[in-house]
Homo-oligomer: A and B are copies of this chain.
């Protein structure tokens, strides 16, 4: 896969007419770059530059203690070992290759393209300034966004595997959750199932799953509380699995029936049906060329048209190595999202969540499905929740 990703990178560089893309890192166990482990199998201690050239060549500038470990990966065309002075070695390489346009990993908008630390940026700038010829440093966000976004067949399958495991666990929970069980106990159940399947949570363990039971629980990224499930409560569980390096991120709605009920109360049922239809409409509309803002509007305007307030987060985000995989997003043009993030067109190979939500008097109702963008439209990677999981 690393080799495949490096080849993808070369193709993207040619397409974007960029001379060189530099990933500049050091002590990567301590201070990571989110793109690093797409293009390197190993970590580094000394200052290291992984460089992809428009010519198709891949070169690593490495410290002497790291060099042998990099050679062992057999991923790159050339490994240049600098002895002591990284800056001189980089200057020479940029000079030799007559670089005039250099992409570096920084972005105000996209966290996934913002792995370059400010200190290393200052070092890069110093090297560039010391070269007579003019070199322009630009954001590598367009490169990284494509590289992360467009999943290879292998990556797609790994995501499906992570979804399947999460869905098993959501099903397992139907036999566990009942009246009297606390959010914390439900969280513990999911944690035990993760261990059982030998996988990790998709995000911080203490908040994965997020468990929102009944109307007192606060939606969002927080840890489960002592709130106890009662009859008539609806609950939203936000959960994902990290398996073989790839993530899932899903939400499922459960409802504890009152003694006299055979189905969820009308308020909850209507909210659920509205969300289901909003997800269906968005998925049906999405295809290459559609923007994230347009996709969000389809779902959001439907929910609002049914008399609900608009939820205060994005319709969806990308998923991959991370549950929140960065890059373009399905969201309104709100302050917190940049225009570039919401106005970019969808591309085949991207994976998104679709996750609208509605607060009811019985608790928060949430759905989160995952879709893959094909050449013509979308494909559900998750098995969409068709009915509320009813519990006795």
Contact = CB atoms under 8 A, between A and B. Distances in A.
Interface in A65-82: 65-69, 71-72
A31 B107 CA distance: 12
A242 to B, nearest CB: 10
A26 interface: yes
Nearest to A73: B223
Interface stretch (A120-128, A154-162, A261-269, A284-292): A120-128
Contacts of A222: 66, 68-69, 71-72
Given A84-B334, A84-B336, A106-B117, A30 B67 contact: no
Contacts of A336: 46-47, 63, 84-86
Interface stretch (A1-9, A108-116, A367-375): A108-116
A324 B44 CA distance: 11
A272 to B, nearest CB: 21
Interface string A13-46: 0000000000000110111101000000011111
Interface residues of A, number: 66
A31 B34 CA distance: 6
A69 B211 CA distance: 12
A168 to B, nearest CB: 23
B204 A31 contact: no
Contacts of A322: 27, 29-30
A323 B222 CA distance: 30
B326 A27 contact: yes
B312 A26 contact: no
Interface of A: 26-27, 29-32, 34, 42-47, 63-69, 71-72, 83-86, 104, 106-123, 139, 203-204, 206-207, 218-223, 312-313, 322-326, 334-336
B106 A114 contact: no
19 contacts: A27-B111, A30-B322, A30-B326, A31-B114, A31-B115, A43-B203, A45-B221, A67-B220, A68-B222, A72-B222, A104-B118, A106-B119, A108-B119, A108-B122, A108-B123, A109-B119, A114-B119, A115-B117, A116-B118
A204 B335 CA distance: 39
A322 B113 CA distance: 25
Given A43-B203, A64-B220, A313-B65, A32 B29 contact: no
A113 to B, nearest CB: 8
A38 to B, nearest CB: 12
Q: Which 6 A-B pairs have the closest CB atoms?
A: A106-B118, A69-B222, A114-B119, A68-B222, A65-B220, A118-B121
Given A69-B207, A118-B118, A207-B42, A26 B111 contact: yes
Given A31-B114, A117-B118, 10 more contacts: A31-B34, A42-B223, A68-B218, A72-B222, A84-B334, A84-B335, A85-B336, A108-B120, A116-B118, A117-B117
A329 to B, nearest CB: 12
A121 B116 CA distance: 11
Contacts of A85: 335-336
Contacts of A113: 119
B111 A30 contact: yes
A107 B42 CA distance: 24
A42 B206 contact: yes
A30 B112 contact: yes
Contact of A69 (B26, B34, B220): B220
